[in-house]
Structure 1
Amino acid sequence: MNFRRGLEKVEPEINLIPLIDVLLVILIFLMITTTYTKYTALKVTLPVADANTALPVPEKIVVSVGADGTYAIDRRVLADSAPTTLNAALKQAADAARSRANGGEPVLIINADAQSTHQAVINVMEAARLAGLSHLTFATRANPSAGR
């Protein structure tokens, strides 16, 4: 009962050109519609800033901590390394910096030697707290191999 005796077997084929045409039209449609769509969650009006206005530079107090535990405030070495001496000297330096800054808050820069003890640095931080200094920062040296 083979009715297809003389017919050759026909291989099915997929014509890709109409498929590519349809995908190209869809791609162009998506590109056009997404460029004109604007998504905003909130309507925000940004403030205007004057680019020529410079921020005031805060007054600085530099406290250096030596490897042997000696302290220096703004390059003046303290007579001894007792915490009470450090507290009094830092309070005096903070009051002088506040008067120079017209009541502004000075920044305390702690410049500690790598071989200094942690307790010496903690003494400086405690003296800063007692002097009412809340802006603290630590001076560091850039690592030459960090940028590679």
Structure 2
Amino acid sequence: MNFRSRQADDDLEINLIPLIDVLLVILIFLAATTSFTRYSQMKLTLPQAQADTLQNDALNIAVSQQGIYALDGQLLTDTTAQELSVALRAAAQGHDDAILIINADALSSHESVVRVMEAARLAGIVRVNFATQNSP
């Protein structure tokens, strides 16, 4: 008969590294299989904003629904970003820190507004604002 007490040579320990590996694989799997909805599927109503006072020395460009541009009340016949930037650069001469205010029609195309923003970048105008209606 063996009455000796059994000695525990190996201490039990929990190894967390395989657990962390399994959790990371599950996290990657969940992230890869998640479906994202597109914003175009949502019907958005954009908010109105409270406008600050208008600055007198700012350049105003208007964009109509048909994509016609007017810079400070003068119709522009050129509609490419390069030609618009030439007109903006000429209008901004003498103003080191020119401000451009875009008055875009609510139904004007996104392309027309982006073209004005690209022209402002090419002309070196870094401060671009959008005109809004005051909320009722």
- Map 1:1-148; keep pairs closer than 5 Å: 59-95=57-93, 99=94, 101=95, 104-144=96-136
- Cα 1:58–1:141, aligned 2, differ >3 Å: closer, same or farther? closer
Cα contact 2:82–2:122 (8 A) shared by 1: no
* Equivalent in the alignment of 2:10: none
Q: Highest relative contact order (Cα 8 Å, sep 6+), 1 or 2?
A: 2
What secondary structure does 2:92 align onto?
Answer: helix
* Equivalent in the alignment of 1:13: none
Measured after TM superposition, the shift of residue 58 of structure 1 is 7.0
Cα contact 2:88–2:120 (8 A) shared by 1: yes
In 2: Cα distance, 1:142 partner to 1:58 partner: 19
What stretches of structure 2 of length at least 5 have no aligned partner?
1-54
**Where in structure 1 do 4 or more consecutive aligned residues deviate above 6 Å?**
none
Q: Percent identity?
A: 43
In 2: Cα distance, 1:125 partner to 1:83 partner: 8
Per-residue CA deviations over 1:54-105 (Å, capped at 9, x if unaligned) read xxx672100100100010111100123233321211121122xxx1x4xx30
The normalised TM-score by structure 1 is 0.51
What secondary structure does 1:136 align onto?
Answer: strand
What stretches of structure 1 of length at least 5 have no aligned partner?
1-56
Cα contact 1:63–1:108 (8 A) shared by 2: yes
* Equivalent in the alignment of 1:28: none
- Cα 1:105–1:58, aligned 2, differ >3 Å: closer, same or farther? farther
In 1: Cα distance, 2:82 partner to 2:68 partner: 13
Cα contact 1:58–1:106 (8 A) shared by 2: no
The normalised TM-score by structure 2 is 0.55
Letter paired with 1:121: V
Letter paired with 1:90: L
